[in-house]
Structure 1
């Protein structure tokens, strides 16, 4: 009888050619756009430039997929967490 292993690594993201699905879709849109540019205005320099641009884009997307914090601009998580209710009223002690 054939035995099957239980797939326990369910949280791993799907990858196509080493890219997450969104990055792969962006790469394919660039490839289709460059193919359209080559078809409608055929030039040998354009063909070389399009190949170079697509290769650079693929390298950049691979780098971003490996280190996603490169795109992070601000702080992703606060320093401290509080359950204190936030209101617009100012409370202060009067010293009189």
Structure 2
């Protein structure tokens, strides 16, 4: 009989409309804000501008999702890992033995 492993981290890779959950929430916040902006404005050029802004934001967010290395500015890990104590004293001085 097959045994299946429980996958608890399903929310980390969940995608809605090609965007992770956090970026999708950002997109929906921008859409709701732009809808409020359209409701209270009476200019046709502003309505077109809001649609262009939302389309550009969606394209930018999908581009960031496909290339996550765009926002990694520093290395996560150091180039070398060591347990050696950083000291100018010779090794024998640490043990209390001085030659």
TM-score, with length taken from structure 2 = 0.74
Q: Deviations over 1:30-78 (max 9, x none)?
A: 0000000000112110110000000000000001001111011111221
Structure 1 runs (4+) greater than 3 angstroms displaced: 6-12
The total of aligned residue pairs comes to 85
Counterpart of 2:49 in structure 1 is 49
Q: Residue 91 of structure 1 is aligned with which of 83, 88, 92? A: 88
CA change 1:7–1:48 in 2 (3 A) is: farther
- Structure 2's unaligned 5+ residue stretches are 91-99
- Asked which structure has the greater CA Rg, the reply is 2
Q: Distance in 1 between matches of 2:84 and 2:89?
A: 16
TM-score, with length taken from structure 1 = 0.76
Instruction: Report the aligned-residue RMSD.
Output: 2.1
CA change 1:8–1:66 in 2 (3 A) is: farther
**Greater length-normalized contact order (CA 8 Å, ≥ 6 residues apart):** 1
- Structure 1's unaligned 5+ residue stretches are 1-5
